[in-house]
Structure 1
Amino acid sequence: MARPPRFDSDQILDAAVRLAAAAGPGGVTMSAVAQAIGAPSGSVYHRFSGRPDLLAEVWLRTVERFQEGYFEALRSDPDPRRAARAAARHVVSWSRAHPHEASLLLYGAEEFGQSAWSEEHRDRADVGNRRVFASLRELAAALGAAGPLERDRVTLALVDLPLTVVRRHLRAGDMMPPYAEELAEECAAALLEVG
């Protein structure tokens, strides 16, 4: 009977997330991850064919976990204004609960080597992006945002603005203040009232 593997994919990806949070995507190498978990490099190569595969999985797992809660927030209330507020709040609360992952998301997929990803990984990223944009379009329509200015306002309120609240604190290495969720929610609501 074969011995169960000592290091699973999640342990490897968790270590890669910590490395990316500390040193950026450049800090995520096969040997650095192996060293971080006290494993031989072969254990990492057993799970991931090479660095592009590892970087793709680190990025996609993090984005997909974030998006899961974001979509839930967008569906949390039949009132589109309350759902919008919940989505803006989610960006901050998820980032507070997952600071390493949130730090990773301050980079883009390109910085995680997207051009070298497999077709399967690029397709996964595209599916996630299309779901986000479709959800934002649906919410914009429910809010009566008809033109490009109004739709951009929804994106600004629910994506860019809450990320700005998070980014400032994460980049400075500070704890987010206890009112950060409220601030993101109130600012998003105020911006959506303009339209």
Structure 2
Amino acid sequence: MPRLAKYDEGQILGAAAKLVAANGPGAATMTAIGAALGAPNGSIYHRFRSRDELLGRLWLSKARAFQDSWAAGLTQAEPLAAGLEAALSMPRVVRADIEGARIMLLHRREDFLSDAWPQEMKAEAERLGRQVKDTLSEMTRRLFGRDTTSARRATAFATIDIPVSAVRRFVSEGGAPPAQIDEMIACAYRAVIEQERGAANGA
């Protein structure tokens, strides 16, 4: 029994992250995770009731880190700076966690979700969904003074779609995006926001 407590949740999720980042979700079997840790399968099942739960917790932990970094842009007092901070959070978090970036950007969300999740995991997934919706609405209102379909589309494109597209190629190649990418994201972000503001003012 003492051996069962040798490997904590963080170590197990870390091993799973390496396997998923290298070869996709299918590579993260309980046996493979145990082998990567040098641990018996019992050690894994002591922490996680099933593989679905393990992969789910891995996805939730990475999604939380990426989204929290994006939402933190709202702490900036000036609206344009707040949106830019959100946009630039993507290359920064990718550099900080390449494995997490490969998990989040190169694989489908559905590969990690399961109806068999415990209720607290389902609740966390729902919270993350609300966070995106609520943060996007607040960011849109701050940038444009309104939360219309057009303004929200521009906000999502400028702070999510552009940064994700900008870093994905580097992530797929196994590297971190260079500093130049931040400058390009910033230029594209400003152009989208200015275009939407101009359209709203009839320019």
Task: Normalising by structure 2, report the TM-score.
Answer: 0.89
Partner of 2:130: 130
1:60-80 residue CA offsets vs partner (Å, 9 max, x unmatched): 0111122222222222x1111
| Cα distance between partner residues in 2 of 1:28 and 1:187 | 37
Deviation at 1:3, TM superposition (A): 7.5
| Structure ID, larger Rg | 2
| Cα distance between partner residues in 2 of 1:10 and 1:187 | 37
Partner of 2:200: none
| Cα distance between partner residues in 1 of 2:101 and 2:91 | 9
Deviation at 1:4, TM superposition (A): 8.6
1:164-185 residue CA offsets vs partner (Å, 9 max, x unmatched): 1111111123442221222222
CA contact (8 A) 1:56 1:114 kept: yes
| Cα distance between partner residues in 2 of 1:26 and 1:158 | 31
Query: Following TM superposition, where does structure 1 have runs of at least 4 consecutive aligned residues deviating by more than 3 angstroms?
Result: 113-116
1:16-70 residue CA offsets vs partner (Å, 9 max, x unmatched): 1111100111111111111111111110000000111101100001111222222
Say yes or no: does 1:66 pair with 2:61.
Answer: no
Say yes or no: does 1:83 pair with 2:78.
Answer: no
| Cα distance between partner residues in 1 of 2:176 and 2:12 | 26
Partner of 1:171: 172
Partner of 2:10: 10
Segments of structure 1 that go 5 or more residues without pairing to the other structure are none
Say yes or no: does 1:192 pair with 2:202.
Answer: no
Partner of 2:154: 153
CA contact (8 A) 1:34 1:40 kept: yes
Task: Normalising by structure 1, report the TM-score.
Answer: 0.92
Partner of 2:199: none
Say yes or no: does 1:118 pair with 2:118.
Answer: yes
Partner of 2:54: 54
Partner of 1:140: 140
| Cα distance between partner residues in 2 of 1:31 and 1:91 | 33
Structure 1 stretch displaced more, 176-185 or 24-33 = 176-185
1:121-154 residue CA offsets vs partner (Å, 9 max, x unmatched): 1221110110121011001011124421221110
| Cα distance between partner residues in 2 of 1:158 and 1:123 | 25
| Cα distance between partner residues in 1 of 2:157 and 2:114 | 25
Deviation at 1:82, TM superposition (A): 0.4
Q: Number of aligned residue pairs: give it.
A: 193
| Cα distance between partner residues in 2 of 1:147 and 1:3 | 57
CA RMSD of aligned residues (A): 1.7
| Cα distance between partner residues in 2 of 1:104 and 1:115 | 20
Say yes or no: does 1:29 pair with 2:7.
Answer: no
Percent identity, aligned pairs only?
34
